[in-house]
């Protein structure tokens, strides 16, 4: 299958390109390129690479592909707040326009990387599910992810298969690593400083999932029976994949024996707590989505990666692994008004 991956030069996209090609798919990449040089080790790129802001894509650049996996966009709440207005422009209008173009030029499948942030703060003891749980987006990032899902699902038809995946917070090694996401941050901090400091009381819940398992979910979206996945949304995670922040910190400490774990509690009980159900993806797509990574395996992988690349505290705190810092370094004043990231 010929697959176009938008945002292929990002944290997840770098791994997804490799995994797709290993499964025999022909991959083309489309990315604005802001993180192209954030490499901690060399990787082989796709056969075809287009450097393009996703808002400026033309139909002929998508034509000829069987599927689009759409990762590109502002990738979390802090980035969404970095420049007001960009989140709507990129994550909502840019996504809908891309899907419309894809449909118009005959692309058959459109897989959208959405987000669990649309659920907001969970005030229930029940794990949130895809369709029945309340959507309570608290930020522009969360709102636009939800609204983009609603709009692109309106485009689905027998000839245009739309599937949305809502990953848990991702962890794991990538040549374009991010250290501004929770478990990667904890392990990197332990590895480079010998100390893990948790400013809450450690009780909030966070669902997490390994980057390679997320890639498996996206690939299931292009390989599964069309009638099964058309118009469906899936929470992406693993069995028993909800963890307290304390659990994540203790797993990071196991990955780096001898590191010190300190709970300062200065922020008390963080109310940003939620647990997510993964029953739908683990049952409906069980023949294709078989997650393999837990925290301990992922922590060991990260430590091996850090040793291999000579990872330092400067790397941990620097722009190569922290997206807002990189954009502040990269964007000119005009781009602060017009830029996008993937």
Structural domains of the chain, with CATH: 2-177+208-240+274-293+332-338 (3.40.50.720)
| DSSP H or E stretch at residue 48 | strand 48-51
With bands split at pLDDT 50, 70 and 90, how would you rate the model's confidence at 122? Answer: low
How many CA within 13 A on the CB side of residue 220? 26
Tokens of 262: 């300190």
pLDDT of 342 strictly over 50: no
Share of the chain above pLDDT 90, in %: 75
Once rounded to an integer, what is the mean pLDDT over residues 232-244? 96
Q: Exposed, middle or buried: residue 112 (CB in 10 Å: 0-12, 13-18, 19+)?
A: buried
Tokens 């490799």 identify what position? 18
For every residue of 149-177, DSSP letters joined together read HHHHHTT-BTTBEEEEEEE-EEES--TT-
- Residue 125: predicted pLDDT: 67
From edge to edge, which strands make up the β-sheet containing 205-210? 169-171, 205-210, 242-244
Helix (H, G, I), strand (E, B) or coil at 299: helix
d(CA 72, CA 132): 27
End-to-end CA distance of the chain: 23
d(CA 199, CA 335): 34
Once rounded to an integer, what is the mean pLDDT over residues 269-289? 87
With bands split at pLDDT 50, 70 and 90, how would you rate the model's confidence at 86? Answer: confident
d(CA 122, CA 235): 15
pLDDT of 267 strictly over 80: no
More confident residue, 22 or 335: 22
Q: State pLDDT tens for residues 311-329.
A: 999 999 999 999 989 988 8
pLDDT of 271 strictly over 80: no
d(CA 142, CA 122): 14
Once rounded to an integer, what is the mean pLDDT over residues 180-193? 97
Tokens 């699902």 identify what position? 153
**CB-based contacts of 143: which residues, under 8 Å, 6+ apart?**
118, 137
More confident residue, 263 or 122: 263
| CA-closest candidate to residue 331, choices 79, 11, 57 | 79
- Residue 333: predicted pLDDT: 41
pLDDT of 337 strictly over 80: no
Average pLDDT, the chain: 91
pLDDT of 95 strictly over 50: yes
- Show the DSSP H helices in 194-331 as ranges: 211-223, 226-229, 245-255, 279-284, 295-309, 313-317, 323-330
Q: State pLDDT tens for residues 201-225.
A: 888 888 999 999 999 999 999 999 9
- Residue 274: predicted pLDDT: 80
* Contact call for residues 305 and 311 (beta carbons, < 8 A): yes
């Amino acid at each position: 299958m010929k697959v176009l991956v938008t945002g292929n030069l990002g944290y997840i996209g770098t791994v997804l390109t490799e995994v797709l090609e290993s499964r025999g798919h022909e991959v083309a990449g489309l990315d604005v390129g802001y993180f192209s040089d954030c490499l901690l080790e060399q990787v082989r790129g796709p056969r075809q690479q287009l450097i393009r802001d996703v808002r400026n894509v033309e139909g002929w650049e998508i034509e000829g592909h069987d599927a689009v996996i759409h990762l590109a966009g502002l990738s979390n709440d802090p980035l969404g707040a970095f420049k007001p207005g960009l989140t709507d422009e990129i994550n909502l209008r840019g996504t809908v326009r891309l899907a419309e173009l894809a449909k118009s030029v005959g692309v058959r499948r459109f897989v959208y990387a959405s987000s669990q942030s649309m659920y907001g703060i969970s005030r229930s003891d029940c794990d949130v599910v895809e369709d029945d749980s309340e959507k309570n987006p608290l930020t522009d990032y969360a709102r636009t992810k939800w609204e983009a899902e609603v709009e692109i699902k309106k485009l689905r038809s027998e000839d245009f298969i739309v599937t949305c995946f809502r990953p848990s917070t991702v962890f794991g090694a990538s040549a374009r690593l991010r250290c501004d996401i929770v478990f990667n941050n904890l392990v990197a901090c332990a590895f480079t400083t010998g100390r893990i400091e948790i400013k809450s009381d450690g009780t909030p819940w966070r669902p997490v999932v390994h980057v390679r398992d997320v890639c498996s979910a996206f690939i299931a979206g292009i390989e599964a029976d069309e009638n099964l996945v058309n118009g469906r949304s899936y929470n992406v995670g693993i069995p028993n994949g909800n963890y307290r922040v304390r659990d994540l910190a203790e797993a990071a400490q196991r990955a780096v024996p001898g590191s010190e774990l300190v709970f300062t509690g200065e922020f008390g009980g963080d109310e940003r707590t939620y647990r997510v159900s993964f029953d739908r993806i683990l049952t409906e797509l069980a023949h294709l989505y078989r997650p393999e990574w837990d925290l301990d395996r992922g922590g060991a992988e990260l430590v091996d990666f850090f040793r291999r690349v000579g990872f330092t505290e400067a790397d941990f705190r620097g722009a190569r692994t922290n997206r807002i810092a990189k954009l502040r370094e990269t964007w000119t004043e005009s781009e602060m008004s017009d830029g996008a990231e993937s």
